[in-house]
Amino acid sequence: VLHGLWPQYARGGWPASCSPQSQLNREEIDKGAALFPTRSLLKHEWAKHGTCSGLEPLAYLEKTDAALGVVTIPQQLQPFNTPPSLQAREIEALFRESNPRMGNHGLAVICKGKVLSEVRVCLTKDLAFAG
């Protein structure tokens, strides 16, 4: 599930909630509904991060869609294939194995307690793996 796509500074951190804040129109919401699990997350990600991307809403959503196509989710982590338990380092290894161009940096496996919360992948502006 996509959480979001946002710009990040080279030394960490990222801009948020940039001006001008614009609302998404119906076409943009429909496009985003195919990318994000909920419309509220779509609207939140656009307001907080998309507005800082330097892109118009539809271009931001198209770039988000393209970014989804860059990262291969490991077969073992696809729905109905998930093993009962994996260590964070094992999840990282699966992502690197499924994405050989990923390199040694630009990937973070985030857990909350013993539950996987998210996998963050850093891409360049051209959607190549960073690091």
Catalytic residues: 3, 45, 49
Q: Which residues of 1-40 are buried (b: 16+ CB within 10 A; e: fewer)?
A: ebebbbeeeeeeeeeeeeeeeeebeeebbebbeebbeeee
Query: CA nearest 3: which of 31, 51, 29, 37?
Result: 37
Could you tell me if 64 and 2 are in contact, meaning their C-beta atoms sit under 8 angstroms apart? Answer: yes
